[in-house]
């Protein structure tokens, strides 16, 4: 489920969602939150950072679980 050359994070998250990859939904949420923080001027918002970290952790946990199967 790695990224492709030239594929940005939004496109990568979309491809994960389209293929039903493990952790695709929380990974997509993490990308959405990252884009909001980076380009929307919300980088200093601690709630947004907490939500981003939680979504990323959930995506990593889903991927680890899928690898164990």
1 or 52, which is more confident = 52
pTM: 0.84
For 60, counting Cβ atoms within 10 Å of its Cβ (0-12 exposed, 13-18 middle, 19+ buried), the class is middle
Mean pLDDT (whole number) for 14-34: 94
Query: 3-class SS at 40?
Result: coil
Query: Which helix or strand (DSSP H or E) is residue 58 part of?
Result: helix 46-68
State residue 1's pLDDT score: 67
8 A C-beta contact, residue 21 and residue 13:
no
The torsion of the CA quartet 17, 35, 26, 66, rounded to 10 degrees, works out to 70
Q: What is the tens place of the pLDDT at every residue in 25-52?
A: 999 999 999 999 889 887 788 999 999 9
């Amino acid at each position: 489920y790695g990224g492709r050359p030239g594929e940005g994070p939004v496109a990568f998250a979309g491809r994960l969602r389209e293929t039903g990859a493990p952790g695709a939904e929380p990974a997509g949420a993490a990308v959405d939150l990252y884009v909001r923080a980076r380009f929307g001027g919300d980088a200093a918002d601690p709630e947004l950072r907490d939500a981003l970290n939680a979504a990323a952790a959930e995506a990593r946990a889903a991927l680890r679980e899928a690898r164990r199967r």
